[in-house]
Amino acid sequence: MPADVESSDLRILVTGGAGFIGSALVRHLIGSTECSVLNVDALTYAANLASLTEVENKPRYNFLKADIRDADAMASAFNDFRPDNVVHLAAESHVDRSIDGPAEFLSTNVTGTYVLLEAALAYWADLDGAAKDRFRFLHVSTDEVFGSLGDEGLFSEDTPYRPNSPYAASKAAADHFVRAWGETYGLPVIFSNCSNNYGPFQFPEKLIPLALLNAIHDRPIPIYGKGVNVRDWLYVEDHARALWAILTEARPGENFNVGGNAERRNIDLVNSLCDILDDVRPREGGASHRDLITYVSDRPGHDLRYAIDSTLIRERLSWAPTVGLDEGLRRTVAWYLDNPSWWQPIVKECYAGERLGLGRPSLS
């Protein structure tokens, strides 16, 4: 951020701000900075305005229900709100759903990103000198674009792309489009690729909330394959701080990997959740929640291991995660136990924990 620009002067357009990471970012921007925010969200199944109740009545918060694939709506959003920055988070994000129905991922993640880029480019081209200089388009992506690691090594900002799922392929394509709009048209774009996020307000199709809610209801906890797949875990509020640091300090064209430096096998992660529940909410009869763990057939094309090298953001932007995995898991368990009013409507009306990602019949 230029030295003569204060956070109170910034207007930030956030796409997907009613989603898991997006809502954490919006809460951070409204609660910890003086920015004005426009949250643009289509309110698809995983979006939830209840995740934003603490900021919804703040004067600096604005909401627009719109789809990033709608060119007219995006042009209006830019021209009416006049943002200084864009943080692009809107995306279909669940690997299992991408296996069952890849077309929606192509449409939203690739075509939607293209439409948003075109709107941003047209808006940016008409800005004057100072406003044009401070404009940034931050594209938020995933470590899954890099494919799968073996037992050793870390993903760096220079790791070649090798996506293995339809979701990862759609995000990789979006990354390339954003980079192309920066190189070809001069749009001041910046990038981030993050590891697995977790924490409050996460839709229960993902591993941690799914395991938690199944355990709370004394239902089997499904573990894919043998549970040996490894992920690096990042507390979502730490990610929100990282995105603010990148948005305000990164130079156009730069890319930052954001990780929690907290690798754990899926089975070990779920065991930790079960142990926490045994401590804070024991099962009737004294049995362990670990007894609910059930191994199921693996996800097609399941990447073995992801791990992030976040040296660059730590050294260049002085960011580091503040919430360790064990503490973050305890906070997450406590939040889901204390907030059934947030997740009960989802379980009743939208997603009850059914298995996804079984794949489609072979066409051969």
Q: Provide the pLDDT for residue 6.
A: 57
Q: What residues contact residue 333 under an 8 Å CB cut-off, 6+ apart?
A: 212, 273, 276, 277, 280
144 included as an active-site residue: yes
The alpha-carbon radius of gyration of the chain (Å, integer) is 20
Beta bridge partners of 142: 194
Asked whether residue 339 is domain-assigned, the answer is no
Lowest mean pLDDT among 101-110, 182-191, 335-344, 350-359: 350-359
CA distance 120 to 71: 11
Q: Name all contacts of 208-211 with Cβ < 8 Å and 24+ positions apart.
A: 208/269, 208/273, 208/329, 208/332, 209/332, 209/336, 209/343, 210/353, 211/270, 211/273
Asked whether residue 93 is domain-assigned, the answer is yes
**Structure-token pair, residue 114:** 């293209």
Determine the residue type at 281. R
Q: Provide the pLDDT for residue 8.
A: 65
CA distance 342 to 350: 12
> What's the structural domain count of the chain?
1
Q: Is the pLDDT of residue 59 over 60?
A: yes
pLDDT tens-digit map of 238-294: 999 999 999 999 999 999 999 999 999 999 999 999 999 999 999 999 999 999 999
Name the pLDDT band for 9 (thresholds 50, 70, 90).
Answer: confident
Asked whether residue 100 is domain-assigned, the answer is yes
Asked whether residue 16 is domain-assigned, the answer is yes
Report the predicted TM-score, pTM, of the whole model to 2 decimal places.
Answer: 0.96
**Structure-token pair, residue 316:** 């260049």
Element (H, E) at 15: strand 11-15
Asked whether residue 338 is domain-assigned, the answer is no
Rounded to whole angstroms, what are the CA distances from 10 to 6, 35, 86, 118? 7, 5, 11, 22
**Structure-token pair, residue 134:** 């401070």
CA distance 157 to 39: 28
Name the pLDDT band for 361 (thresholds 50, 70, 90).
Answer: low
Beta bridge partners of 194: 142, 258
Q: Which residues form the domain of 165? A: 7-204+232-263+305-325
The one catalytic residue among 41, 96, 143, 237: 143
According to DSSP, the β-strands at 196-198 and 263-265 are: unpaired
C-alpha dihedral sign at 137, 135, 53, 30: positive
- Domain at 192, CATH number: 3.40.50.720
Q: Are 13 and 86 in contact (CB under 8 A)?
A: yes
CA distance 182 to 137: 9
Let me know how long the chain is: 364
Place of tokens 């002067």: 9
Q: Is the pLDDT of residue 5 over 90?
A: no
Determine the residue type at 76. S
CA distance 12 to 60: 10
The one catalytic residue among 144, 175, 303, 309: 144
Q: Provide the pLDDT for residue 359.
A: 74
Q: Provide the pLDDT for residue 189.
A: 98
Q: Provide the pLDDT for residue 273.
A: 98
Query: Stretch 90-105: mean pLDDT, rounded?
Result: 97
Q: What residues contact residue 287 under an 8 Å CB cut-off, 6+ apart?
A: none
Asked whether residue 309 is domain-assigned, the answer is yes
pLDDT tens-digit map of 128-157: 999 999 999 999 999 999 999 999 999 999
**Structure-token pair, residue 95:** 């690997």
Query: Stretch 51-72: mean pLDDT, rounded?
Result: 98
Asked whether residue 165 is domain-assigned, the answer is yes
Asked whether residue 352 is domain-assigned, the answer is no
Q: Are 193 and 145 in contact (CB under 8 A)?
A: yes
Instruction: State the DSSP code for 308.
Output: B
**Structure-token pair, residue 184:** 């070809």
At 310, is the secondary structure helix, strand, or coil?
coil
Name the pLDDT band for 358 (thresholds 50, 70, 90).
Answer: confident
Q: Are 356 and 94 in contact (CB under 8 A)?
A: yes
Rounded to whole angstroms, what are the CA distances from 105 to 71, 95, 173? 18, 10, 11
Rounded to whole angstroms, what are the CA distances from 279 to 200, 274, 286? 19, 9, 11
167 included as an active-site residue: yes
